[in-house]
């Protein structure tokens, strides 16, 4: 007989490492709001907090034992909300541990990239730290209610960061982002509530084992659809992608880094962790649709990217294209393809985060992002030009850099199942080579323009996050096992538990 929720003891389990990783940035934001005023102190304190959080995320990744598998470093506060049977439940597995590391790395890069912020610096760094807690919480939550709270928390700082510190049509872009994401959240909430009222639990662990077998209030396919819409908007999946280019174009550099590098990955993570793991039969039935949408994302995004004249919009549309490979890998429903999809989320995060950092440096010094107005910048900004070339080559999948490994795994996993879709998706690399190399040639090579004679290269402070991301791209490209061993463990557990596959 189960104990009454009234008399059940409140218990805590865990070391607190994950809780510290998730909640430290929030604690730092509260401290800034209450006690700090001077801009120099605010940014210095924010840098200390985010650096410690990066170290904690590195520790989480290092301590995860891929040979053991399962959820590890679990923090659990049982009976958190007794009448809902909700728990404070955090943990990481082979899929989420690398994403925690990604969030830590890009969060630190975002704070470094914000060193020059002067307008309302206190509020800016406060919201940036709150955003860090939100994304960390999404990747570690094992309770659906807690997952949804962190998912919604991310909206608040993003709205203010774009609408207050953005450029161009910043209010329009912030509101468009909010409307799209809230719409997706509404669909997702319906799916979560159906699962809760059907199975009587918010536990993601329990629902993974019982969701599709439970007597759901509505058909499993409909629950899958409600959840998928919420994740598809965030990924984003065509035709639910239109908020992304506007948000990127008008957001500050650091916010674009977080948006492309981490927030989009929340959608891919949700599809793998929730849709695939909880609804394997539905996923198998509509895998053809996932493959089709993936190919559309790849080709549509690549073709539209070719037409862009603004550097930021070019990188934004390229993100839509590259996220199509995540769907293609998921549609394979095999270890290799799903590992490729999960790795694509990590590698795309570092590559696109680096590209947005570099675009921000170009804009800060040249005061334009219009490709037609640029040219010959390599002689004025040799460091930025060199790293831009590395990031561009990584984006188009050059061997030896991280983008190549992820895309090859996706193709190898998807081709035996979806041959035509894989061939069409591979054509996206050809188009990517076109827009990346053409953009670099027009911006950095050719005769130097007189109007840029006064500009200089990146400063030491600006180089630090850039070098860190280049290191991550090269390390994963040269030694991909540092991630693939961990990711394969997580993917294999999902396939074994849900599909009976290894």
Q: In Å, what is the CA distance from 384 to each residue of 38, 381, 391, 456?
A: 31, 5, 10, 10
Buried b (16+ CB within 10 A) or exposed e, 472-498: bbeebbeebeebbebbbbbbbbbbeeb
Two structure tokens written together for 258:
């977080």
3 state DSSP class of 12: strand
Question: Which of 229, 298, 272 lies closest to 98 in space, CA to CA?
Answer: 272
CA distance 60 to 120: 33
For position 378, what pLDDT does the model report? Answer: 86
Question: Would you say 444 and 376 are in contact if contact means Cβ atoms under 8 Å apart?
Answer: yes
**Beta pairing partners, 13:** 76
Q: How many Å apart are CA 477 and CA 483, to the nearest integer?
A: 10
Give CA–CA dist 54/60, Å, rounded. 10
Residue 362 pairs in a beta bridge with none
- CA gap 340, 47 in Å, rounded: 33
Q: Which helix (H) or strand (E) holds 49?
A: helix 39-63
DSSP per-residue string spanning 249-266:
HHS-HHHHHHIIIIIHHH
| pLDDT, tens digit, 9 for 90 and up, residues 20-73 | 999 999 999 999 999 888 889 999 999 999 999 999 999 999 999 988 888 999
Q: Residue 117, Cβ neighbours under 10 Å: how many?
A: 19
For residue 47, what pLDDT is reported? 94
pLDDT in tens, 390-409: 999 999 888 999 989 999 99
Mean pLDDT by 10 residues, the chain (502 residues): 44 85 96 90 94 96 90 86 86 94 95 88 94 95 94 93 88 92 93 90 86 73 93 90 87 90 92 92 92 94 88 89 93 92 94 92 86 85 91 90 92 93 91 88 82 83 92 94 93 81 54
- The pLDDT assigned to 169 comes to 87
What distance in Å separates the CA atoms of residue 374 and residue 378, rounded to the nearest whole number? 11
User: What pLDDT score was predicted for residue 299?
Assistant: 93
Residue of 377, 379, 376, 404 lying closest to 390 (CA atoms): 404
Q: Where are the alpha helices (DSSP H) in 200-252?
A: 204-210, 220-234, 243-250
Q: Kindly list the domain boundaries of the chain, sorted by start residue.
A: 286-502
């Amino acid at each position: 007989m189960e104990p009454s929720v009234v008399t059940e003891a409140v218990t805590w389990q865990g070391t607190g490492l994950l809780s510290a990783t998730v909640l430290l940035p929030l604690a730092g934001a509260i401290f800034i709001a209450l006690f700090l005023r001077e801009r120099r102190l605010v940014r210095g304190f924010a840098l200390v907090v985010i650096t410690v959080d990066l170290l904690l995320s590195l520790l989480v990744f290092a301590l995860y034992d891929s040979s053991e598998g399962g959820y590890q470093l679990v923090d659990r506060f049982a009976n958190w909300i007794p009448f809902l049977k909700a728990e404070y439940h955090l943990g990481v597995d082979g899929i989420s541990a690398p994403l925690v590391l990604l969030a830590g790395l890009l969060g630190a890069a975002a704070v470094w990239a914000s060193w020059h912020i002067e307008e309302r610096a206190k509020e800016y760094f406060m919201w940036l730290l709150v955003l860090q807690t939100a994304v960390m919480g999404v990747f570690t939550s094992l309770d659906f209610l807690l997952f949804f709270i962190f998912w919604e928390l991310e909206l608040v700082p993003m709205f203010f960061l774009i609408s207050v510190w953005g450029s161009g049509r910043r209010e329009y872009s912030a509101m468009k982002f909010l409307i799209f994401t809230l719409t997706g959240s509404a669909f997702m909430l319906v799916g979560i509530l159906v699962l809760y009222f059907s199975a009587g639990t918010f536990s993601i662990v329990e629902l993974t084992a019982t969701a599709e077998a439970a007597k759901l209030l509505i058909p499993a396919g409909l629950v899958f659809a409600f959840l998928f819409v919420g994740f598809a908007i965030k990924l984003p999946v065509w035709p639910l992608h239109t908020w992304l280019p506007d948000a990127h174009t008008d957001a500050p550099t650091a916010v674009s880094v977080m948006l492309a590098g981490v927030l989009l990955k929340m959608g891919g993570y949700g599809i793998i962790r929730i849709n695939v793991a909880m609804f394997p039969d539905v996923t198998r039935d509509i895998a053809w649709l996932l493959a089709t949408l993936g190919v559309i994302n790849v080709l549509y995004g690549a073709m539209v990217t070719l037409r862009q004249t603004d550097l930021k919009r070019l990188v934004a549309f390229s993100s839509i294209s590259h996220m199509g490979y995540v769907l293609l890998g998921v549609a394979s429903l095999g270890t290799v393809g799903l590992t490729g999809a999960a790795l694509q989320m990590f590698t795309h995060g570092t590559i696109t985060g680096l590209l947005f950092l570099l675009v921000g440096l170009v804009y800060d010094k040249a005061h334009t992002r219009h490709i037609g107005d640029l040219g010959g910048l390599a002689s004025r900004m040799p460091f930025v030009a060199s790293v831009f070339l590395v990031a561009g080559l990584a984006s188009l999948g050059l061997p030896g850099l991280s983008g190549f490994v992820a895309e090859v795994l996706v193709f190898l996993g998807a081709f035996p199942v979806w041959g035509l879709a894989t061939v069409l998706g591979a054509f996206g690399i050809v188009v990517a080579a076109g827009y990346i190399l053409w953009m670099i040639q027009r911006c950095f090579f050719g005769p130097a323009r007189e109007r840029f004679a006064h500009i200089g290269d990146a400063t030491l402070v600006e180089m630090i996050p850039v070098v860190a991301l280049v290191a991550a791209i090269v390390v994963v490209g040269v030694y991909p096992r540092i991630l693939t061993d961990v990711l394969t463990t997580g993917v294999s557990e999902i396939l074994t538990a849900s599909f009976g596959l290894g």
